[in-house]
Amino acid sequence: MTDRNNHANLILDAGIISKKYQQRALVKPDSLVNSKSNSFSLGEIVIGTVCKLEPEGALIDLGSEIAAYIPLREMSIVEVESPEQVLQLNETRQFSVVRDYSDPENNPRLSLSIRELERRIAWERVRQMQAENVTVYATVYAMNPGGASVKIEGLRGFIPSSHICTDKPKEDLIGEELPLKFLEVDEECDRLSLSHRSALLEPMIKKLKVGDVVVGKIRGLKPYGAWVNIGDVPALLHISEISHVPFDASDSVFKVNDEVKVMILDVDTVRGRISVSTKQLEPEPGDMLKNPQLVYEKAEEMAAKYRQQMQERQKDSV
């Protein structure tokens, strides 16, 4: 990245975030006063002036007798190739103290960072975005069996495999931009977890209601039930919700890619999960095992009865 303004404004790989997040997160410059006693604390935010640019870093004048240096790796939360991409000679700005040490002559020295300041702002932004349920877009840059890695505000984010919704082979996701919702934002543990499934689920939630009948396709069969794709979003048809009559395994009822009608049983917006049922659509117990086509033909009628029963239960509980 060669544009200095990109670094100055923290416009990062995850996209341009609105100025309201910047305004909330930035430290107020008028609250900063450098120590006059040549004593600085780790993590302290100081004001310094760039007095020399070198290939691998820059010398910073803090207005004290202590020499301060910022290495190239600490100049930005994103990778930069030269100090000139971030700093200008004689520029005055904020830095964070990340290390104090002594040189060979036993003179005190300080190591500074802009990266740490940007990380503080980035964590503040993602906390705010999580609180406001913002959908972010990020590009997958790495995959492993556990999930996908992305950058959000320059921070490493992780999407667990269970929260990735796609029919593509996982390795084909590298380079693809995905809509994401925040699952966990933990600065202390340096953990940022996201969900592709929840982002896809959100617009569906506005359309789906408990008791609705939808058409889906069997995506996978497991000992605990079947996964049904409703559009691009997987829904769980638990084995206990397939039929009123007990049976051995879901693969005795369905095959992968079967088209099915199911009823929405629950929509969990927090975990990004949809639960569905064919059991509630059976005209008679066991019909799903003997004649699933009849269940599908009577699906809307049975769902209407289910919704009526739910309304009556709600009235009785008031």
Residues 193 and 281 in one domain: no
With residue 312 as reference, give the H or E element that holds it: helix 299-317
Task: Please identify, among 83, 118, 153, the residue that sits at the C-terminal boundary of a domain.
Answer: 118
Q: What is the dihedral of CA 221, 225, 229, 232, to 10 degrees?
A: -100
CB of 228 within 8 A of CB of 260?
yes
Q: In a structure prediction context, what are the per-residue pLDDT tens digits for the chain, which is 318 residues long?
A: 333 443 434 333 333 333 333 333 344 444 444 544 467 888 889 999 999 999 999 999 998 888 899 999 999 998 899 999 999 999 999 999 998 877 677 777 899 999 999 999 999 999 999 999 999 999 999 999 999 999 999 999 999 998 898 878 878 899 999 999 999 999 999 999 999 988 888 877 777 889 999 999 999 999 999 999 887 778 999 999 999 999 999 999 999 999 999 999 998 866 667 899 999 999 999 999 999 999 999 999 999 999 998 888 887 776
Q: Is residue 226 part of a domain?
A: yes
What are the backbone dihedrals phi and psi of residue 45, each rounded to the nearest 5 degrees, phi first? Answer: -95, 125
What's the pLDDT at 34? 53
Q: 281 with 307, same domain?
A: yes
Instruction: Report the pLDDT value the prediction gives residue 317, as an integer from 0 to 100.
Output: 73
Q: Domain boundary residue among 200, 226, 255?
A: 200
Domain range for 63 is 4-118
- Which CATH number fits the domain that encloses residue 229? 2.40.50.140
Q: Flag whether 68 is in a domain.
A: yes
Which residues, listed in sequence order, are joined to residue 139 by a DSSP beta bridge? 177
Block residue for tokens 């009608």: 261
123 within a domain of the structure (yes/no): no
Same domain, 93 and 162: no
Q: Residues 140, 110: one domain?
A: no
Looking at the fold, whether 173 and 264 belong to one and the same domain comes out as: no
Closest CA to 256 of 220, 296, 231: 220
- Do 163 and 217 sit in the same domain of this protein? no
Whether pTM > 0.95 for this model: the answer is no
In the chain, the number of structural domains is 3
In the listed set 146, 177, 200, which residue is the last one of a domain according to the structure? Answer: 200
The answer as to whether 125 is a domain residue is no
